[in-house]
């Protein structure tokens, strides 16, 4: 099915209606997910890669670029 047809038929909600937003990231051939818990104002990185790597080598400056979020407009 064409994605445009799906999106046109979707009942879009305000971002305020969501508790958690998951954002898949590809950074330097490495996949991970950033989870934004809007209810608790928390950000988590979900990753299954080896722990031996440093956060900087795995994520670069991606987490810092997510910023801090407070209240939504």
Per-residue pLDDT of the chain (73 residues; tens, 9 = 90+): 677 777 777 776 777 778 898 989 887 788 889 898 988 888 888 887 767 777 677 767 765 555 555 554 4
36, part of any domain: yes
- pLDDT confidence of residue 73: 47
Q: Following DSSP, what letter does each residue of the chain receive, concatenated?
A: --HHHHHHHS----GGG-SEEEEEEEETTEEEEEEEETTTTEEEEE--S-TTS-HHHHHTTHHHHH-------
Q: Number of folded domains in the chain?
A: 1
- Residue-number span of the structural domain to which 27 is assigned: 13-66
Judge whether 1 lies within some domain: no
Q: Per the confidence metrics, is the pTM higher than 0.75?
A: no
Quick check: is 23 in a domain?
yes
46-64 tens-digit pLDDT = 887 767 777 677 767 765 5
pLDDT at 64 (0 to 100): 59
Q: Is residue 4 part of a domain?
A: no
Quick check: is 71 in a domain? no
């Amino acid at each position: 099915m064409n994605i445009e047809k799906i999106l046109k038929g979707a009942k879009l909600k305000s971002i305020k209606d969501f508790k958690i937003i998951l954002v898949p990231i590809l950074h330097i051939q490495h996949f991970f997910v950033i989870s934004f818990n809007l209810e608790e104002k928390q950000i988590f990185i979900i990753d299954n890669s080896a722990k031996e790597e440093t956060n900087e080598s795995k994520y670069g400056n991606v987490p810092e670029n997510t910023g801090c979020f407070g209240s939504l407009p």
